[in-house]
Amino acid sequence: MEVDVNRTTAALASLAAALLFAVAGIVLAPPPAAAASLVEVTNFGTNPGNMRMHIYAPDNRPANPAIVVAMHGCSGSGPGFYSGSEFARLADQFGFLVIYPTATQQAGFGNCFDVWSAAAKRRDGGSDPVSIMSMVNYAQRQYAGDLNRVFATGSSSGGMMTQALMALYPDVYKAGAAFMGVPVNCFANAADFPPTNSQCVNGRMDRTPQQWGDAVRQAYPGYSGPRPRVQLWHGTADNLIPFQLLQESVEQWTNVAGLSQTPTSTDTPQANWNRRRFADSTGAVRVEAYSIQGAGHSLPSSGMARAAIDFFGLSTAGPTPPPPTTSPPPST
């Protein structure tokens, strides 16, 4: 009987040891491959703007993913816009690449995207627009990004550059979503950029639709191909970039598209989101403008990035894995 007890004890001890090693094996096994993360690229090509580049490439993406350039506001950064906006989460869901440039140029108001210099106002003239084009081309080379599906978006200074890129490279950007931006060629020069001195953002800028449209056409003289579709966002209580500049941008882009200044439809997609849409003769919406009632200089807020991605046509393409359990906070 004593032998049986000893055998039983030994067997239990062996089983316990086996279980312990099994558990230890689970705990000590190498972790699974890390999920997609923001990656900095230091040698992406010609960089006259001396910019930094970060890119987010979701693990689950098609062979030739679309490319979205997402740009921060003044004094911000690419990583800051990555963590403070919803575009990376949407990239996980719909399988597109997101480029997050970081501006380094100064115009008396922190690091801002150059939309004021002569170089930045003409195609391939230099400065930030050329640097950003290098980033787009890098995304195509390194990640097989689809150059037929390139889009731009951004907040404040990034919203200004969004509109500038669509004027400079209408053959590259299929659509853009500008949050709290200004019309193309609104700033005379660097001295005109700081809000305290600016003729552009001091509330007195008023040009005709033809004048605004000419500013876009002059960025790429001779171009006669299709123009990007344009989505514009502005808060009615913005105390930094006056709300009236939304209307100036509407006039600019409807003129470029050859559309009437009268919207073809108006609606309220969400509470306090008043939307005007301007469609062409085929019914395709070429320009849409969102007036966000009571909002200050704080866009995009929750849900607006998704509206931009919908406008780009990216929310119906690509893989759709389950959404993550957490999401970045809305930008402020």
Mention every residue, 6+ apart, whose C-beta is less than 8 A from residue 240: 156, 180, 195, 201, 296, 297
Nearest to 235, CA basis, from 170, 309, 332: 332
Map tokens 């780009």 to a residue.
Answer: 312
Q: Are 103 and 72 in contact (CB under 8 A)?
A: yes
SS3 content of the chain, % helix, strand, coil (to 5): 35, 20, 50
E strands of 62-142, at which residues? Answer: 67-71, 97-102
What's the number of CA atoms in the CB half-sphere (13 Å) around residue 166? 34
List the one residue out of 154, 136, 12 whose CA is nearest residue 67: 136
In Å, what is the CA distance from 270 to each residue of 176, 218, 304? 21, 37, 10
Q: What is the Cα gyration radius of the chain?
A: 25
Residue of 77, 117, 156, 157 with catalytic role: 156
Task: Tell me the Ramachandran region of residue 113: left when phi exceeds 0, alpha when psi lies from -120 to 50, beta otherwise.
Answer: beta
How many residues does the structure list for the chain?
Answer: 332
Question: Please, what is the angle between helix 304-312 and helix 87-94, to 10°?
Answer: 40
List, in sequence order, every residue forming a beta bridge with 232; answer none if it has no partner.
Answer: 178, 289
Whether 298 is catalytic:
no
What is the token pair recorded at 237?
């209580």
By annotation, the residues acting in catalysis are 156
